[in-house]
A and B are shown apart, each in its own frame.
Chain A
């Protein structure tokens, strides 16, 4: 298939060159499988095989894009798509800056993140995995839900400036297993991200769910009093917070447009806790990385925060062109963010619950429906969900109803950070709106932040 894709791109380039077009041609292929569970049944079993071709035409400072869903046999339709982009660009309006057209210096082929065994899991294997996750946990009241999503993702690019191609192929899987109590309405979750088949470990999820279920069945639920809490975030919550920082933090273009809580004056200054070291590291296969960006810039580890000191913004090519900045190799579908491990000895939920403590600790594994209240203040809001615990100072455990947290990311990752786990874990944050685009972050398993305000407390889950 790879050869056919590359051959198709070369012939489309030849067509565009012959016509005198200036175009960049992107190819995206996904083979997606998703088994969805609800109410202990398979509620949907689906697969999609889709090929997208995107042609962006340039004419001086003008550009226009045409995208189509197609298949590799429709070469004439693809050529027509390029013609349409070339026609559209005549009518576009010049930008106020010179857009950079990528000029690749050599072929770049990377399929190191592809594992055929993971990409081609059968229906039977997906079902067997989930049956092992749920094991003996389901009851008349406890219902299994979740997804097993796996597939293959191929990105390729060619342009008329150079005869070389980029080709990236990855495999990925995202597993979410939820057990929910039909009458009491509590839910507990366990998740797994996989880049290769051997990453799949259903027993781990089964153990995590078993542990939480035991507490949720035996411990007392409670509406928490409003106030300030020492909070331990699980990997899902930490990853979600970092994902928002990726959005309204160190993106240079958004900073210039006023949608960031960081400014250029902050570069080189201590902004966050010294325990926070955050890097964009495309050497980590677990993050489904791009080791070269779409402009042809090779990507290595790029520091964002080093012991709390802000190292600098990331710039994709278009923003760099517009604002006169140097591109940093971030013209990519997603970053490969790694939050460094810390010195905390808590590396499992069992460790956390058993750890001696002098004060109450609120454990929030998952933040639901986060949103940005004000980007320039870094102010976000979201609710706890899926298996929170209030670990009382006396060693007992209470089950808290969901609570709302409305805080600045500067506070959450600031001086209130007490510790991060020694162990890290890849956490899959992929969404499947439109084209498949697997994304994972590597984060410590747990992060403790003291003295955060709970602004709303539910009287139910």
Chain B
């Protein structure tokens, strides 16, 4: 197969293509189980295979994909024809940043292949969790397991050949109930990074049991709690919401294709401009953020991106100043040319596609916030005069240029004079992105830093879902509007 792919690539090069690559997925598998109130509602597996072909011709991209490999030549011809037509409307001819030709392999860390675990064991796990969640106050209890495995062979016209084997494990426990007014509330636990690998060994019964007990207890606290007040105070974000704040108002805002206007007609743009790099005070001096695809064991670590560029650890915001972006080969060239200076030295290795039938675009890797020196959660609470601790993503809505946001959380704990006082229900917080990050007044130490997994980040047209991670500490922001 690889030989045939190389022949087809060479053929298109002979026809004038500037660049051709192929992602061949010999296999991609998924196994998903969902238990809802004791009913195993979903027991599903899937398997797919196919190829996606990307052709660059006269400065324009063409792409074609199919699961039918019986006529590869026709598929390559279609991709070439798509590029030929696209070349009729080019305003900035696509160029690709330099990279080395690489022959390499990558395998995500996995001790116990979840696809070799008997279905009965997985069902037994969900059953156990369901029993643990089936407690007073809980009306709806949901637990799921989501396993993915894929083998990707990347071949390009520049001499690269990379084979990746990636295994993903995701799991969520969720409970919901209604308060005296009939209003629903929920609490959940999402599996994050537990250790050095993410196979079946991630499904650690002790961890899940402890968290099942915790979310049931916290739900019952919320059900009898008062509403979140509507006022301005310090918000202390636990990793269970801090990851999403980071995702939506740093991650998406710093995708270079968004900054350059490639998502303007759909997902939106970014308030960041090319002139801002090296100058814009994005946050307080306590803020250092990075796109770190080298972090061991996270869905945002994948060895090599779908341009064939090795994973990198790129600083995005250095002590509050914007210095980097989430980038791939095409966008760094265009950004440098448009800025008339070399903002980006090379591709950040963040171009990824969700499947063989989608084209790679800039995606988050692990968008992390460095731990700080403001101590533990207890230390931060003790140092807070009037605040609220927030946890659990319930809703999120962000402005089209990522300039403002509104988040709803599952639970809040009021803080008065350095002490946690009451639990409150229906907490929300909202704000303007730059004002908010510049109000960052405390960053927790490494004891507060956790890697949260994201299994369903959506972007692009045709739409793509991507898996990634966020390593985040507990953070405090001052003077934030809550309860609206």
Residues of A whose CB lies within 8 Å of any CB of B are: 32, 34-51, 62-71, 73, 81, 84, 88-89, 91-93, 95-97, 123-124, 127, 143, 145-147, 149, 176-178, 180, 182, 185, 187, 189, 257-259, 263, 318, 322, 368-377, 381-383, 385, 402, 404, 406, 431-433, 455-456, 458, 460-461
Contacts and interface: CB of A to CB of B under 8 A. Distances in A.
A73 B70 contact: yes
B62 A36 contact: no
A93 B426 CA distance: 35
Given A38-B261, A145-B261, A84 B119 contact: no
Given A39-B260, A68-B48, A89-B43, A373 B89 contact: no
Interface stretch (B34-42, B286-294, B369-377, B414-422): B34-42
A126 B139 CA distance: 51
Contacts of B261: 38-39, 143, 145, 180, 182
Nearest to B63: A46
B91 A41 contact: yes
B266 A176 contact: yes
B184 A433 contact: no
Contacts of A96: 38-39
Interface in B33-90: 35, 38-50, 60-68, 70, 78, 81-83, 85-86, 88-90
B67 A51 contact: yes
A145 B269 CA distance: 12
A95 B39 contact: yes
Interface string B272-286: 000000000000000
Contact of A48 (B35, B47, B66, B177): B66
B357 A371 contact: no
A376 B16 CA distance: 59
A71 B260 contact: no
Contact of B406 (A84, A176, A406): A406
Given A66-B46, A92-B43, A373-B408, A402 B399 contact: yes
A38 B61 CA distance: 12
A385 B263 CA distance: 14
B262 interface: yes
> What's the dominant secondary structure at chain A's contact region?
strand
A43 B403 contact: no
A368 B45 contact: no
Contact of A42 (B35, B90, B183): B90
Contacts of B66: 48-50
B118 A91 contact: yes
A44 B397 contact: no
B231 interface: no
A376 B260 CA distance: 40
Among A41, A88, A123, A124, find the residue whose CB has the most chain B CB atoms closer than 10 A.
A41
B397 A67 contact: no
Nearest to A366: B400
A142 B210 CA distance: 56
Top 4 A-B residue pairs of the complex, sorted by shortest distance between their CB atoms: A145-B265, A69-B48, A91-B119, A42-B86
A378 to B, nearest CB: 11
Contacts of A46: 62-65, 82, 359, 462
B123 interface: yes
Interface of B: 35, 38-50, 60-68, 70, 78, 81-83, 85-86, 88-92, 118-120, 123, 127, 139-140, 176-178, 182-184, 260-266, 268-269, 271, 357, 359, 394-401, 403-404, 406, 408, 426, 428, 430, 432, 458, 461-465, 484
Contacts of B67: 50-51, 69-71
Contacts of A371: 395-397, 408
Given A65-B45, A67-B44, A48 B462 contact: yes
Contacts of B398: 369, 383
B63 A44 contact: yes
Among B38, B61, B395, find the residue whose CB has the most chain A CB atoms closer than 10 A.
B395
Among A40, A44, A258, A383, find the residue whose CB has the most chain B CB atoms closer than 10 A.
A44
Contact of A41 (B89, B119, B430, B484): B89
A368 B268 contact: yes
Given A41-B92, A46-B64, A66-B46, A146 B357 contact: no
A81 B29 CA distance: 13
Nearest to B458: A433
Contacts of A182: 261
10 contacts: A38-B263, A41-B60, A42-B90, A69-B67, A70-B67, A147-B265, A149-B461, A180-B264, A369-B399, A402-B399
B48 to A, nearest CB: 4
Given A45-B83, A96-B39, A322-B39, A37 B403 contact: no
A79 B41 CA distance: 24
B357 A48 contact: yes
Contacts of A81: 47
Contacts of B139: 257-258
Contact of B89 (A40, A89, A377, A431): A40
